[in-house]
Amino acid sequence: MANSSPNLLIVDDDETIQKLLAMAARDHGWKPLGALSGAEAIRLLNPSIQAIVLDLGLPGIDGLETLHRIHEKRPGIPVIMLTGTNDAETAVKAIKAGAADYLTKPFEIQRLFDVISNCTAEGGEISATAAPRKSAQKITLDSSSPRMKQFYRQVEKAAALDSTILITGESGTGKTYIARKIHLLSQHAAGNFITVNCPALPHELLETELFGHEKGAITGTNAARIGRLEQASNGTIFLDEISDIPTELQAKLLNVLQDQEFFRVGGKKPIKTNARLISATNVNLQDRVKAGHFREDLFYRMNIIELAIPPLRERREDIPGLISYILKKIAANRGSGAWQLSEAAATALKNFDWPGNIRQLENVLERSTAFSDGNLIEAEDIVTLLESPTPAAKRQIFAEPGLTLHEIEREAFIQTYIRTGKNKAKTARELGISERSVYNLMARHGLK
């Protein structure tokens, strides 16, 4: 088999999403191949493909039927299902049909590739063409902010210990990034780094995702399933947004921390684990404890060491370096020349408060480069992306009770379209979508 042969099949009828996933796949060491339908995916499936990312909502044969046909042709190949519906019933159907994992849109790109790596490392059809597993490596944490320098010193000290860690901070501050760095700096670096996004998984599936299940423990399953805790043995398990874990699972997680063992669902044999647990939250867990939604004993077990990430507005010295890094990454992913900021654009970015933190900064730069005429980003390319709809505009959308989701979407789109002077490019920028999606929304809502 040639080294250049594709080894990851991405199946999604949205060409924009497919291309974005393909760029990210190449950045993670995979050789992607795209398909816009289930029929095309089945036709393209060949022995070099080692994993498949499959959207549930496809034209023609849907994702579940496509999954059945893929496994008829290639039994055992890991298939990760994607859907825009956070529906437990659909998730159960996907898992029963043989999906290796299930992600709900929107999801973090890194989460998807963690899942792909985990699935192929579990005993799926792995070959020399699969993405290489990361091993221990020298990690440097640096910052221009005195406050972040102090924080990074805490990270390095905490990583050297084997205690459980709770990472706190606002949404978008980089909690997953810090958890990954702790793993790579720790004695567990040679093991797997396994992430579990607690709110992204339906509660009905979270228990089996964490602990796995024995053959026949779940109706419709005919094989045992290894859970994330088992996958993380000798490595690190990262529980993101731990505040969303159901109360009925909190006792089982407490037992894992106390006894370093657990049972698969339907299992009678205890399974030992030496995985290090790191968790993260953007809410005050002590408030959740006081409200009776989070076990106090579990909170103290998880919070041996707390690392609080400062928000971006409190470490503005880091903004220029982050901008440079993000722009270089965008250029590398797109295979384009480097982007530069005008002085006015750089000032606008540095002075903004960034309520969405680093994730918002990445989003603004990604969108501004997509719409800039050249490789120089001007202030006008930036400012409109920093503006939010006024509170009055937000209230207007939800002014009438009983609106359906379709009606809310229509009102939000029309108001934005009118506010931008019916400029499709500006509408796309404000809504964070492609111009093609603007045309699709116009057609969907009967606008000319």
Question: Does residue 372 sit in helix, strand or coil?
Answer: coil
39 or 221: which leads in pLDDT: 39
Q: Where are the beta strands (DSSP E) in 21-155?
A: 32-35, 51-55, 79-83, 101-104
How is 285-312 classified by DSSP, letter by letter?
Answer: HHHHHHTTSS-HHHHHHH-SEEEEPPPG
Q: What's the longest Cα–Cα distance across the chain?
A: 65
pTM of the complete model beyond 0.85: no
* Of 22 and 336, more confident: 22
pLDDT for position 121: 58
- Mean per-residue pLDDT, 171-180: 91
> Do residues 212 and 230 lie in contact, with contact meaning Cβ atoms separated by under 8 Å?
yes
421 neighbors 388 (Cβ within 8 angstroms): no
pLDDT band at 128 (very low <50, low <70, confident <90, very high): very low
Segment among 28-37, 55-64, 88-97, 391-400 with least mean pLDDT: 391-400
Go through the domains of the chain in sequence order and give each one's CATH number: 8-121 (3.40.50.2300), 146-310 (3.40.50.300), 313-386 (1.10.8.60), 391-444 (1.10.10)
Residue 374 has pLDDT above 60, yes or no: yes
Q: How far apart are CA 21 and CA 26, in angstroms?
A: 9
Closest CA to 239 of 175, 192, 285, 297: 175
**Is residue 193 helix, strand or coil?**
strand
Worst-scoring range by mean pLDDT, 100-104, 209-213, 243-247, 271-275? 100-104
